[in-house]
Structure 1
Amino acid sequence: MNEGATNNTSKTDWARIDAMTDDDIDTSDIPPLGEAFFAKATLRMPQSTVSVVAVPVDAETLGWFQAQGEGAEQHMAAALRIYAEAQKRAATLHSAS
């Protein structure tokens, strides 16, 4: 991974974004969702989750996730899912060759 990738600072004016109302957002380039869209739409519910799992995590890794703000547990779960999916893809590619 690029070392500088984690050191990028957002240049977005978040105070301006936070102050915007829904009416301030230009949505004119978004086409309306018609009957055809909703006829093909399907409801996808998240898979059930295990509410509590004890996983030993080193203090530095836990500290990094907590320093990112609220939702550290959800972000850790997402990182584990990304890792698991990558391992599944790699295994599939390996077994196909």
Structure 2
Amino acid sequence: MSRSPRSARDAAEAAFKSATTKPVEAAPAPKAPAIPNAREAVSLRIDRDVLERFQEDGPGWQDRINAALRKAAGLA
């Protein structure tokens, strides 16, 4: 059984695709912050009870979460 030859349309579509498709590039390295030790705003999902526990002591709860994460990561 022989394969049917490619149609002119298939050949044209393949040529167009190869001419217009961007090559896959490696992901750029993460940028270092412009200011050393600067904090970065992120969105993070935390269980409600964990968030409430950190907020119980009032303002500064984000700093307390950051300190707990640093300790858990072995950075403190």
Identify the TM-score tier after normalising by the shorter chain: 0.3 to 0.5
Give the TM-score normalised by the residue count of structure 2: 0.47
Bigger fraction of residues in helix? 1
Give the TM-score normalised by the residue count of structure 1: 0.37
